[in-house]
Homo-oligomer: A and B are copies of this chain.
Amino acid sequence: MRSAYHEQLDQFDDGLVRMTTLVNAAMIRATNALLDADLELAESVIAGDDQIDALAHDLEDEALQLVALQAPVATDLRVLLSGLRISASLERMGDLAVHVAKAARLRYPATAVPSELRQVIIDMGEVAERIVQRTGEVLADRDATKAAALAIIDDEMDSLHRQLFNAVLSDDWSHGVEAAIDVTLVSRYYERFADHAVTIGKRVVHIVTGEPYSTAGIE
Contacts and interface: CB of A to CB of B under 8 A. Distances in A.
A180 B218 CA distance: 28
A123 interface: no
A95 interface: yes
A77 B216 CA distance: 26
A215 B169 contact: no
Contacts of A54: 215
A191 B56 CA distance: 24
A126 interface: no
8 contacts: A53-B218, A56-B218, A67-B77, A81-B84, A88-B218, A91-B215, A169-B177, A177-B180
Interface stretch (A23-31, A57-65, A111-119, A151-159): A57-65
B181 A92 contact: no
Contacts of A218: 53, 56, 88, 91
Interface residues of A, number: 41
Contacts of A61: 212
The 4 closest A-B pairs by CB, nearest first: A71-B71, A57-B215, A53-B215, A177-B180
Interface string A12-53: 000000000000000000000000000000000000011001
Given A60-B81, A60-B215, A85-B85, 17 more contacts: A53-B218, A56-B218, A60-B212, A61-B212, A63-B81, A64-B77, A64-B81, A67-B71, A71-B71, A81-B84, A88-B218, A91-B215, A180-B180, A184-B184, A184-B185, A185-B185, A185-B188
